[in-house]
Copies of this chain bind each other. A is one copy, B any other.
Amino acid sequence: MSDEARIKSTRVYTGRVISLDVDQVRFPDGTTGELEIIRHPGASAVVPFVSDLRGADPQVLLLKQYRYATGGTLYEIPAGRLEPGELPEACARRELLEETGCTAESIVPLTSMFTTPGFTDERIHLFLATGLTRGEARREADEFMEIETVALSVALQMVERGEIQDAKTALGLLFAAGFRVGV
Protein backbone atom coordinates (compact mmCIF):
# COMPACT_ATOMS: atom_id res chain seq x y z
CA MET A 1 0.00 0.00 0.00
CA SER A 2 2.89 2.32 0.83
CA ASP A 3 4.45 1.79 -2.60
CA GLU A 4 1.22 2.54 -4.46
CA ALA A 5 0.76 5.73 -2.46
CA ARG A 6 4.30 7.03 -3.05
CA ILE A 7 4.59 9.56 -5.87
CA LYS A 8 8.14 10.65 -5.14
CA SER A 9 10.64 10.12 -2.33
CA THR A 10 13.45 12.57 -1.62
CA ARG A 11 16.25 11.46 0.69
CA VAL A 12 17.02 14.45 2.90
CA TYR A 13 19.54 12.79 5.20
CA THR A 14 21.28 9.43 5.39
CA GLY A 15 22.53 8.72 8.89
CA ARG A 16 24.28 6.02 10.84
CA VAL A 17 21.08 4.94 12.62
CA ILE A 18 18.22 6.58 10.74
CA SER A 19 17.50 8.20 7.43
CA LEU A 20 15.01 10.95 6.67
CA ASP A 21 12.88 11.03 3.54
CA VAL A 22 10.34 13.61 2.45
CA ASP A 23 7.80 11.73 0.36
CA GLN A 24 5.15 13.11 -1.94
CA VAL A 25 2.16 10.91 -1.27
CA ARG A 26 -1.25 10.16 -2.72
CA PHE A 27 -3.76 9.84 0.14
CA PRO A 28 -6.72 7.42 0.15
CA ASP A 29 -9.08 10.19 -1.06
CA GLY A 30 -6.87 10.93 -4.10
CA THR A 31 -5.42 14.19 -2.77
CA THR A 32 -1.66 14.56 -2.48
CA GLY A 33 0.67 15.93 0.16
CA GLU A 34 4.15 15.71 1.67
CA LEU A 35 5.12 13.52 4.61
CA GLU A 36 8.38 13.33 6.57
CA ILE A 37 9.38 9.73 7.22
CA ILE A 38 12.22 8.37 9.30
CA ARG A 39 13.30 5.12 7.65
CA HIS A 40 14.46 2.60 10.20
CA PRO A 41 15.59 -0.99 9.64
CA GLY A 42 13.46 -2.31 12.52
CA ALA A 43 14.58 -3.61 15.88
CA SER A 44 14.31 -6.48 18.33
CA ALA A 45 14.00 -6.38 22.09
CA VAL A 46 14.05 -9.24 24.58
CA VAL A 47 12.76 -9.77 28.12
CA PRO A 48 15.46 -11.96 29.75
CA PHE A 49 14.42 -14.20 32.64
CA VAL A 50 17.23 -15.45 34.87
CA SER A 51 15.08 -17.84 36.88
CA ASP A 52 12.50 -20.46 36.01
CA LEU A 53 9.33 -18.87 34.62
CA ARG A 54 7.20 -21.51 36.35
CA GLY A 55 8.55 -20.48 39.76
CA ALA A 56 6.93 -17.85 41.96
CA ASP A 57 7.82 -14.31 40.84
CA PRO A 58 10.69 -15.01 38.41
CA GLN A 59 13.67 -12.64 38.13
CA VAL A 60 14.20 -10.48 35.06
CA LEU A 61 17.25 -8.50 33.84
CA LEU A 62 16.81 -4.77 33.27
CA LEU A 63 19.37 -2.36 31.86
CA LYS A 64 19.74 1.07 33.40
CA GLN A 65 20.81 2.81 30.23
CA TYR A 66 22.08 6.30 29.50
CA ARG A 67 20.00 7.93 26.77
CA TYR A 68 21.18 11.25 25.47
CA ALA A 69 17.92 11.89 23.60
CA THR A 70 15.83 11.76 26.78
CA GLY A 71 18.37 13.51 29.00
CA GLY A 72 19.20 10.79 31.50
CA THR A 73 18.97 7.09 32.26
CA LEU A 74 16.04 4.80 31.45
CA TYR A 75 15.26 1.26 32.52
CA GLU A 76 15.15 -0.83 29.37
CA ILE A 77 15.24 -4.40 28.19
CA PRO A 78 18.10 -5.40 25.85
CA ALA A 79 17.32 -4.18 22.32
CA GLY A 80 18.85 -2.98 19.10
CA ARG A 81 18.54 -2.51 15.38
CA LEU A 82 18.30 -5.28 12.83
CA GLU A 83 21.44 -5.64 10.74
CA PRO A 84 20.96 -5.99 6.96
CA GLY A 85 19.34 -9.37 6.27
CA GLU A 86 19.17 -10.30 9.95
CA LEU A 87 16.09 -12.10 11.26
CA PRO A 88 14.38 -10.59 14.33
CA GLU A 89 15.16 -13.61 16.55
CA ALA A 90 18.84 -13.58 15.60
CA CYS A 91 18.93 -9.86 16.39
CA ALA A 92 17.32 -10.49 19.79
CA ARG A 93 19.94 -13.16 20.59
CA ARG A 94 22.79 -10.92 19.42
CA GLU A 95 21.61 -7.90 21.43
CA LEU A 96 21.08 -10.05 24.52
CA LEU A 97 24.65 -11.33 24.23
CA GLU A 98 26.20 -7.94 23.45
CA GLU A 99 24.37 -6.01 26.16
CA THR A 100 24.19 -8.56 28.98
CA GLY A 101 26.71 -11.27 28.03
CA CYS A 102 23.93 -13.87 28.23
CA THR A 103 23.02 -16.65 25.85
CA ALA A 104 19.49 -18.09 26.00
CA GLU A 105 18.36 -21.70 25.73
CA SER A 106 14.95 -20.54 24.49
CA ILE A 107 13.75 -17.38 22.76
CA VAL A 108 10.03 -17.08 21.93
CA PRO A 109 8.23 -14.22 20.16
CA LEU A 110 5.79 -12.14 22.22
CA THR A 111 4.48 -9.58 19.73
CA SER A 112 5.65 -6.83 17.40
CA MET A 113 4.71 -3.14 17.46
CA PHE A 114 5.16 0.06 15.52
CA THR A 115 6.92 2.43 17.92
CA THR A 116 5.49 5.71 16.61
CA PRO A 117 3.79 5.32 13.21
CA GLY A 118 3.11 9.03 12.68
CA PHE A 119 6.67 9.62 11.45
CA THR A 120 8.61 6.36 11.24
CA ASP A 121 8.31 2.85 9.83
CA GLU A 122 10.23 1.44 12.81
CA ARG A 123 8.77 -1.86 13.98
CA ILE A 124 10.08 -3.58 17.08
CA HIS A 125 9.90 -7.34 17.61
CA LEU A 126 9.55 -8.41 21.24
CA PHE A 127 10.84 -11.72 22.57
CA LEU A 128 11.05 -13.61 25.84
CA ALA A 129 14.31 -15.38 26.74
CA THR A 130 14.74 -18.18 29.26
CA GLY A 131 17.49 -20.61 30.24
CA LEU A 132 20.17 -17.93 30.38
CA THR A 133 23.90 -18.64 30.65
CA ARG A 134 25.91 -15.64 31.75
CA GLY A 135 29.09 -14.50 30.03
CA GLU A 136 30.90 -11.29 29.13
CA ALA A 137 29.00 -8.31 27.66
CA ARG A 138 30.46 -6.72 24.48
CA ARG A 139 28.91 -3.29 24.24
CA GLU A 140 29.37 -0.74 21.51
CA ALA A 141 31.48 2.32 22.25
CA ASP A 142 28.49 4.63 22.78
CA GLU A 143 26.45 2.27 24.99
CA PHE A 144 26.46 3.00 28.72
CA MET A 145 24.37 0.74 30.92
CA GLU A 146 24.28 -1.24 34.14
CA ILE A 147 22.46 -4.53 34.58
CA GLU A 148 19.94 -4.90 37.42
CA THR A 149 18.13 -8.09 38.38
CA VAL A 150 14.60 -7.50 39.65
CA ALA A 151 11.58 -9.63 40.43
CA LEU A 152 8.93 -9.52 37.69
CA SER A 153 6.37 -8.25 40.21
CA VAL A 154 8.70 -5.34 41.04
CA ALA A 155 9.31 -4.59 37.36
CA LEU A 156 5.54 -4.47 36.80
CA GLN A 157 5.14 -2.07 39.72
CA MET A 158 7.81 0.10 38.10
CA VAL A 159 5.71 0.14 34.91
CA GLU A 160 2.57 1.04 36.84
CA ARG A 161 4.30 3.85 38.77
CA GLY A 162 5.93 5.32 35.67
CA GLU A 163 9.45 4.43 36.77
CA ILE A 164 9.84 2.42 33.59
CA GLN A 165 9.33 5.06 30.90
CA ASP A 166 10.39 3.18 27.80
CA ALA A 167 7.45 1.93 25.74
CA LYS A 168 9.02 -1.32 24.42
CA THR A 169 10.14 -2.25 27.93
CA ALA A 170 6.70 -1.69 29.45
CA LEU A 171 5.04 -3.65 26.65
CA GLY A 172 7.60 -6.46 26.80
CA LEU A 173 7.16 -6.88 30.55
CA LEU A 174 3.35 -6.83 30.30
CA PHE A 175 3.37 -9.41 27.52
CA ALA A 176 5.97 -11.57 29.26
CA ALA A 177 3.85 -11.52 32.40
CA GLY A 178 0.83 -12.69 30.40
CA PHE A 179 -1.33 -9.74 31.26
CA ARG A 180 -4.67 -10.53 32.84
CA VAL A 181 -7.19 -7.76 32.99
CA GLY A 182 -9.92 -7.15 35.48
CA VAL A 183 -12.81 -6.65 33.09
Contact = CB atoms under 8 A, between A and B. Distances in A.
Interface of A: 1-3, 5, 12-13, 15-18, 20, 22-23, 25, 27-29, 31, 33-38, 40, 43, 56-58, 66-72, 74, 76, 79, 81, 111-124, 141-142, 144, 152-153, 156, 159-160, 162, 165-168, 170-171, 174, 177-183
Given A12-B20, A179-B181, 16 more contacts: A17-B118, A27-B142, A43-B118, A70-B121, A71-B121, A74-B117, A81-B118, A111-B162, A111-B170, A113-B167, A115-B167, A116-B124, A153-B183, A156-B183, A170-B171, A177-B182
Instruction: Report how many copies the assembly holds.
Output: 2
Contact of A112 (B72, B116, B121, B162): B162
Given A165-B113, A167-B171, A36 B57 contact: no
A116 B167 contact: yes
The 3 closest A-B CB pairs, nearest first, are: A2-B71, A115-B116, A177-B181
Nearest to A39: B69
A27 B73 CA distance: 12
